[in-house]
């Protein structure tokens, strides 16, 4: 009975923390998305007829790089295993980056009929993405940067998602730019913010169990 009570109490604490963190992350993520979309809209409608896909190819690896640094360093902080930390850093950053920057924006573009082309850098530019994740993970382990400014993570993800939609969709109207707020907000909040919340919780929980067993 005591064990069941402790499990329920632990689950309630985790769910409460997750809900609290989401409340804290959501307004900032939404504001960052609005600001980024306004900037991109100004660039698109004032300077370019089409935003070059070069910008996406810069922002996506940058997002993977930053994510890899933090993921690897955070894992290494709780478990001093270089090989496992590299695997976690590379795997987490590529998966999260692909979901946030490509899969959700592409799915959103399909739902709203943006005629968005599917373009996954992991398949088409495998060496660049994997090497970026490896370098980022290595730096994370060496420098032990286990927490990056959330602003940087959100900003890179927002711009990567935006540039994916603007580069690989048909010519977007003003109304469709407004719709992009919803798509990008979801694309950033779910993978990136949830990884910032759940990863530390899971690792800290495992560490607590390990110390308790000792």
What is the maximum alpha-carbon separation in the chain? 66
Query: Within a domain: residue 107?
Result: yes
Lowest mean pLDDT, pick from 18-22, 160-164, 205-209:
205-209
In a 10 Å sphere around its CB, with 0-12 CB exposed, 13-18 middle and 19+ buried, how is residue 41 labelled?
middle
Query: Within a domain: residue 38?
Result: no
Query: Within a domain: residue 165?
Result: yes
Query: Within a domain: residue 112?
Result: yes
Phi then psi for residue 148, to 5 deg, are: -95, 160
Q: What is the pLDDT of residue 8?
A: 55
Lowest mean pLDDT, pick from 23-27, 95-99, 202-206:
202-206
Residue 1's pLDDT band (cuts 50, 70, 90): low
Q: What is the CA radius of gyration of the chain?
A: 19
Residue carrying the six token digits 């580069």: 167
Query: Within a domain: residue 81?
Result: yes
Query: Within a domain: residue 131?
Result: yes
Query: Within a domain: residue 11?
Result: no
Q: What is the pLDDT of residue 206?
A: 57
Q: Which domain holds residue 165?
A: 52-213
Question: Which candidate, 114, 63, 69, 107, places its Cα nearest to that of 88?
Answer: 69
**Token code pair at residue 149:** 């400014």
Most confident range (mean pLDDT) of 7-16, 124-133, 202-211 is 124-133
Those residues whose C-beta lies under 8 Å from the C-beta of residue 169, and which sit 6 or more positions away, are 109, 114, 115, 116, 117
For the chain, the domain total comes to 1
Is the CB of residue 59 less than 8 Å from the CB of residue 159? Answer: yes
**Token code pair at residue 131:** 């090497």
Quote the percentage of the chain above a pLDDT of 70: 70
Q: What is the pLDDT of residue 109?
A: 92
């Amino acid at each position: 009975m005591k064990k069941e009570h402790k499990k329920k109490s632990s689950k309630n604490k985790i769910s409460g923390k997750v809900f609290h963190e989401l409340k804290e992350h959501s307004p900032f993520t939404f504001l960052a998305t609005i600001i980024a979309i306004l900037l991109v809209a100004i660039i698109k409608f004032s300077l370019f007829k089409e935003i070059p896909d070069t910008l996406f190819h810069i922002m996506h690896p940058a997002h993977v790089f930053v994510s890899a640094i933090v993921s690897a360093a955070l894992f290494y902080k709780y478990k001093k295993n270089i090989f496992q930390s590299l695997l976690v850093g590379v795997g987490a950053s590529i998966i999260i980056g692909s979901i946030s920057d490509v899969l959700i924006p592409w799915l959103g573009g399909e739902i709203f009929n943006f005629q968005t082309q599917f373009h996954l850098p992991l398949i088409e530019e495998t060496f660049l993405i994997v090497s970026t994740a490896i370098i980022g993970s290595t730096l994370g382990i060496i420098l032990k940067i286990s927490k990056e400014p959330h602003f940087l993570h959100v900003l890179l993800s927002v711009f990567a998602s935006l540039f994916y939609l603007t580069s690989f969709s048909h010519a977007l109207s003003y109304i469709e730019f407004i719709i992009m707020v919803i798509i990008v907000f979801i694309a950033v909040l779910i993978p990136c913010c949830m990884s910032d919340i759940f990863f530390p919780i899971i690792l800290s929980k495992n560490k607590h169990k390990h110390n308790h067993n000792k």
